Structure 1
């Protein structure tokens, strides 16, 4: 009996040893057991078995059995085995660990809906990593979860990252570039890191989010390749493969979790996202929330009010497509302002005393050459406006005719072509004036404030053309289309300014009557590019073109990436007969006339066997990068697959020229 028990224990011991020996010889790309956190059912094991398993893991896991036990609140009892500071310190370290941040990102990614993603974040910042309470750095956590919103600039594109790591890891550069075609540079770096003969991943994730934040902050200040390499070399030995993967994703401003500011901030506080839309100030929002509550788990009970901040951009109010007069009248029953939609660039103007800042629609600083003259004229137009935030559009105006010049003429080289022209600011809204936020005032009142305090300066600072209408909308739309203007923006006279919301309406000819008024052409699929993000590794951007009969050659017209659903895209991967050329201009076939900037990842094996798609857009326009006599489509989208047509019945170059003529003269 004793012999049998001894033999049984010996067999169990040998089995455990053999299993861990097998794990020790696993390939670099195989997932590893790095700590007891990776072992399911750990708490149900006996103390003896836990100790035996710990002997096979890194020394850093010693004491893991104690750390896995729930952390109890500190008491004043003398029988407490550990000081409160020791327990809390361990807990804070875990909540701030990069490992927990990675797990949180994975959990967010693995749930599909907005509410589910928000709940995952809310659970973590409420209960923490141990399911009891969160004691981590909430501000830093939120900032890292929103790398595309709270941006640092790293001057590192995907191919540059591949170049750096091919040198650091001693990996084949071409092999890494081939892997990159799958669309995820972070995954490429992980794979080659875990199989590198030069550098080995850490056995355990030991970095904190503070370590990563400091690393990224310093990286953002480096521009020389050698300095960047040296900096990466300082953190690589501390990284597991997945640690390095998440760091690269932070650098690329995309964690691949399909969650934006609303998903994350709604988890922190019901008012946080709205406050962010107004102020764009994550630091103030989180600090105010934390100041209103003793812990993040109780942040949802108090309202917060974060106002406008001068010289800090505000999310612009946007417009949604309006497809009929009836729809407009229904959404604005009290009347509306009809405003000309100019073909310029949206600019948010901030003036604080003598200081100016100009932000684009995407909240980036506007290039100085476009707005430098405005600083002279804005104080003259607003003589009593010491502090203000304006919503506006800039265009280049012909000073002889007073007419706006075409879209794109504000470019520094294009601008030099127009000698008798000025940059003109068309003001259409005011969000802030002399210490008072106007966001919650109705449009009618904001407009009165603008007109009472602004004096037009011809060809420099003017009001956007706007009319109050009740039932004359149809006539206004017809007039705008006939004049060749881009369209109209419709605004409820009682509407407040809501940053980031699409509560204005935009009317363009390609929105009306189901898009039947749009400029469109039946074009042939000539090539394709790999997509990015969720579409990485598949063809999702397509090069569309037409046949030039006079020269027996195919010309490019536009790139298109909208109009297909996921199911159709999946089918196209096998239905399109393509040859991979990886953007190599030397491999462009002789039948295709293609500028270097438009060389795709794939070209058609035979253009005459390719499908025909109807491509519609805002207008047929000129774009020098395309070879169909520079004809292109602005805001293109696929409206239908023309299975009833082949290349012979598709739109030819000659027919495309006729379409351009009629679209400009009707």
Structure 2
């Protein structure tokens, strides 16, 4: 019976309520039903309402629970009373009565019907009415009330008729009859099933977004436009009111936040974790080296699902087993999952050429290269070909199984090989791996060597899984404690969500400041290592961090709206290359790009000039700045195109033709102390105290603490006149800490382009091309460009471009991209069937592109499913600007940014205070 009545529970706010079935007298149930049925067909008389009320009171008794779920146990034969009296055993209820009650449950109208339709009564056998008590009984009814929640049963203010519903409806409407002034109010709410479906897909993303939410709540929700409110809400919120003496009383409010998961969803998450035994289900034993097949099977499961919740679940369980059985290999497993051989700044990448891989597959499987090439044209995935070939290849002697340690060490050997004989050595190492492969191992070995797993696994999902695994299965514990911990967390799901939020925040913050798993993971695996994680994983000189980035704006007024009642500052936005300069205490100087690439060899002049602009007391530092091409004769800065002509490696001082000037705008570290938690105003003061300007060598970014539109406009025009891109606007005191690897709304950029149409340019990746015609015969005449979606690891198309190219550029691009032609579109290309370029490329370049505006497109796939369920976003009238050699394809404009730009275009100069920062 209790399970039957649980169907009427509505939304998250009443999930912990357990409505109790009505008590039915075994002897009178049939007669009562007949009487009520016959009476329901007759008109109700006002005079007889009182007598009918008394009659129904005798036949139907409303029981309301008064204690928490853990204290009241309801079964088919017990009913709990509100005032704490003992449970009455309903031994006499026969099976026939129960079936009759269940058969009379009313079907509810579908969600598509109008909101004010009242559900018709299909039977009067069963009526859950809250009967208003006389004023003398008001005190007694107050005791029955569940504080702060809608009452199921008697109420001193209203009588409620709630028809039980069948659970095959996704959306339900429930009639609530409020007795006060005979007002009838209807409201609509999503069922728990619908809420959980909405929540499941975005549970992990929302968790990551929530990490910094408290830093982003600048303005009240009321300031949002209607369109923004619809965008930022994933569940319907409906309020039901009754009016008494011109006062409004809220009877019920169902509000499901996009961020917070339902209790049931969190518990379901914990159930999945509890069902997995990290020892018995591990696939390896304590002390055993982890078989690569164990990890490959997890990757296979990840590739088969698009649910981010499941992806994190699979990884979390794998990491839990590793923590318990082989904690020293957790670092190895993480690197294999993110397809890296070490820290990003180490510069060691695989990306083996296709010809070497084809030959290795051919020789290891006994198939000819022609056969493999032909099959590659048909299948389009060399990894699948390797997997299928290995599964049919007979073997005389069984090679030893692959382990994760063997695979990662071989990958590192391949990445280290250089020189003339390196190609043959690489091929031999690859063949050795392939010969030992079983099942799906060959698929992921080949894809890893190609440089992309292409399974939709983002690094932030790996970080979330690590945080979750450490929380659920703390290091240095027994599996028994692990089970008990899950049980305790299940009983307090909201507490678990808070703990997971806190843990994830710590892990992501620690990794953003110290992007090195070799240093981060050992700290996590220490006993109570999580508590001291941020203290022990702060900035270190010599380990670059991804820089803090700015959000684009639609104009000056948007800046003022965003930073209302806050101190902010404007800086020139220089047209150069982002540079992060490190100096250790022993005097070693390094220069890193925004992608953590080591560009020390590219800028020997910076190394030579550092001693000229630091004061004697400076022993170590990390400086965030812009390296800009500078003409020493005219004392003017030059464009990025001029800077890009410098060689990238082994630059000699006497060969430099394009000198650079360093424009510093932030100081992250000084003399052994991290400054990222200090305000920008404080960091700027410390920088000025320890660094001195030197003409043509080092200068502070020009700034002005503007306060109104006129001042900002004048300063913007001054920046443009000085060959700058525009302005950076930053919070100066409040909420002005430095946030590595985040695109934050605490930093905004105003580019001169906002006066010419679209607010910002985009950085896009060419993935296809069409042969030129007419004057462009012999070169590629147009290109298919794509943005990058980090969550799905896809390149999504946004435009076909053929404007902005000189003849020289078309020739150079044809020469540069021809070696990277591939026979078919890769699985990571999300392309509409109507788009069929003449040829496809591996994603290797990033181009800056401008456009007139953005529009919803049935052809392109950029950000599809966000603005429109099927259509994507496309650029109108795109025009090539320049190549971005400082960016990798994965650093291209994201699909989320494309959607954000489209929305900003539609809601020009409106408030964006609730938008979320992005992790990069």
- Above 0.5 in TM-score? yes
**CA separation in 1, counterparts of 2:833 and 2:286?**
48
**CA separation in 2, counterparts of 1:388 and 1:71?**
44
Give yes or no for the alignment of 1:339 onto 2:571: yes
Q: What residue is the counterpart of 1:291 in the other structure? A: 526
Between 1:427-436 and 1:161-170, the stretch displaced more is 161-170
Q: CA deviation at 1:540?
A: 5.0
Q: What residue is the counterpart of 1:171 in the other structure? A: 367
Q: What residue is the counterpart of 1:430 in the other structure? A: 667
Against the structure 1 CA distance between its residues 635 and 307, is the aligned structure 2 distance closer, same or farther, given a 3 Å change threshold?
Answer: closer
Contact 2:279 2:321 in 1 (8 A): no
Output aligned runs, 1:47-196, within 5 Å: 91-92=285-286, 96-126=290-320, 134-135=325-326, 137-148=329-340, 150=343, 152-154=348-350, 156-177=352-373, 179-180=375-376, 184-194=381-391
Contact 2:623 2:664 in 1 (8 A): yes
**CA separation in 1, counterparts of 2:278 and 2:719?**
68
**CA separation in 2, counterparts of 1:190 and 1:546?**
43
SS for the counterpart of 2:802 is: strand
Q: CA deviation at 1:457?
A: 0.9
Q: What residue is the counterpart of 1:278 in the other structure? A: 513
Output aligned runs, 1:316-395, within 5 Å: 316-333=547-564, 334-352=566-584, 353-366=586-599, 368=601, 370-383=602-615, 384-395=617-628
Alignment match of 2:407 (pick from 208, 212, 222): 212
Between 1:431-440 and 1:109-118, the stretch displaced more is 109-118
Contact 1:321 1:511 in 2 (8 A): no
Against the structure 1 CA distance between its residues 572 and 214, is the aligned structure 2 distance closer, same or farther, given a 3 Å change threshold?
Answer: closer
TM-score, normalised relative to structure 1: 0.63
Contact 2:782 2:801 in 1 (8 A): yes
Structure 2 residue runs of 5 or longer lacking an equivalent are 1-275, 468-502, 763-768, 771-780, 818-828, 843-873, 885-891, 900-920
**CA separation in 2, counterparts of 1:541 and 1:188?**
31
Q: Deviations over 1:495-516 (max 9, x none)?
A: 0111011122122234568617
Against the structure 1 CA distance between its residues 428 and 304, is the aligned structure 2 distance closer, same or farther, given a 3 Å change threshold?
Answer: closer
Against the structure 1 CA distance between its residues 163 and 72, is the aligned structure 2 distance closer, same or farther, given a 3 Å change threshold?
Answer: closer
Q: Deviations over 1:171-195 (max 9, x none)?
A: 3435534554665432343344445
Contact 1:616 1:639 in 2 (8 A): no
Give yes or no for the alignment of 1:465 onto 2:739: no
SS for the counterpart of 1:395 is: strand
**CA separation in 2, counterparts of 1:318 and 1:517?**
14
Count how many residue pairs are aligned between Structure 1 and Structure 2. 493
Against the structure 1 CA distance between its residues 582 and 441, is the aligned structure 2 distance closer, same or farther, given a 3 Å change threshold?
Answer: closer
Against the structure 1 CA distance between its residues 104 and 205, is the aligned structure 2 distance closer, same or farther, given a 3 Å change threshold?
Answer: farther
Give yes or no for the alignment of 1:250 onto 2:483: no
**CA separation in 1, counterparts of 2:335 and 2:883?**
41
**CA separation in 2, counterparts of 1:112 and 1:135?**
29
Against the structure 1 CA distance between its residues 168 and 288, is the aligned structure 2 distance closer, same or farther, given a 3 Å change threshold?
Answer: same
Q: Deviations over 1:199-234 (max 9, x none)?
A: 759989932211212222222233422212222333
Q: CA deviation at 1:492?
A: 0.7
Q: What residue is the counterpart of 2:268 in the other structure? A: none
Between 1:469-478 and 1:372-381, the stretch displaced more is 469-478
Q: Deviations over 1:379-411 (max 9, x none)?
A: 221122110000011112111111112213233
Contact 1:530 1:537 in 2 (8 A): no
**CA separation in 2, counterparts of 1:292 and 1:435?**
26
Against the structure 1 CA distance between its residues 556 and 473, is the aligned structure 2 distance closer, same or farther, given a 3 Å change threshold?
Answer: farther
Against the structure 1 CA distance between its residues 558 and 325, is the aligned structure 2 distance closer, same or farther, given a 3 Å change threshold?
Answer: farther
Q: CA deviation at 1:163?
A: 3.5
Contact 1:98 1:207 in 2 (8 A): yes
Q: CA deviation at 1:448?
A: 0.5
Contact 2:572 2:701 in 1 (8 A): yes
Against the structure 1 CA distance between its residues 303 and 580, is the aligned structure 2 distance closer, same or farther, given a 3 Å change threshold?
Answer: closer
Output aligned runs, 1:570-585, within 5 Å: 572-574=832-834, 576=836, 579=838
Contact 1:183 1:533 in 2 (8 A): no
Contact 1:615 1:639 in 2 (8 A): no
Q: What residue is the counterpart of 1:268 in the other structure? A: 466
**CA separation in 2, counterparts of 1:518 and 1:539?**
17
Output aligned runs, 1:233-632, within 5 Å: 233-269=431-467, 270=503, 271-293=506-528, 304-305=534-535, 306-333=537-564, 334-352=566-584, 353-366=586-599, 368=601, 370-383=602-615, 384-410=617-643, 411-412=645-646, 422-471=659-708, 472-481=711-720, 485-494=724-733, 495-503=736-744, 504-511=747-754, 515=758, 526=781, 544-545=801-802, 572-574=832-834, 576=836, 579=838, 614-616=876-878, 620=881
**CA separation in 2, counterparts of 1:114 and 1:257?**
12
Against the structure 1 CA distance between its residues 226 and 72, is the aligned structure 2 distance closer, same or farther, given a 3 Å change threshold?
Answer: closer
Contact 2:357 2:427 in 1 (8 A): no
Against the structure 1 CA distance between its residues 581 and 282, is the aligned structure 2 distance closer, same or farther, given a 3 Å change threshold?
Answer: closer
Q: CA deviation at 1:287?
A: 0.4
Q: CA deviation at 1:543?
A: 5.9
Q: How large is the Cα RMSD of the aligned pairs?
A: 4.6
**CA separation in 2, counterparts of 1:538 and 1:310?**
34
Against the structure 1 CA distance between its residues 512 and 176, is the aligned structure 2 distance closer, same or farther, given a 3 Å change threshold?
Answer: farther
**CA separation in 1, counterparts of 2:304 and 2:458?**
15
**CA separation in 1, counterparts of 2:876 and 2:289?**
53
Contact 1:202 1:237 in 2 (8 A): no
SS for the counterpart of 2:416 is: coil
SS for the counterpart of 1:470 is: coil
**CA separation in 2, counterparts of 1:109 and 1:277?**
27
**CA separation in 2, counterparts of 1:528 and 1:171?**
35
Q: CA deviation at 1:446?
A: 0.4
**CA separation in 1, counterparts of 2:315 and 2:279?**
23
**CA separation in 2, counterparts of 1:265 and 1:303?**
14
Contact 1:428 1:463 in 2 (8 A): yes
SS for the counterpart of 1:245 is: helix
**CA separation in 1, counterparts of 2:464 and 2:793?**
29
Contact 1:202 1:238 in 2 (8 A): no
Contact 2:680 2:737 in 1 (8 A): yes
Contact 2:402 2:433 in 1 (8 A): no
Q: CA deviation at 1:88?
A: 11
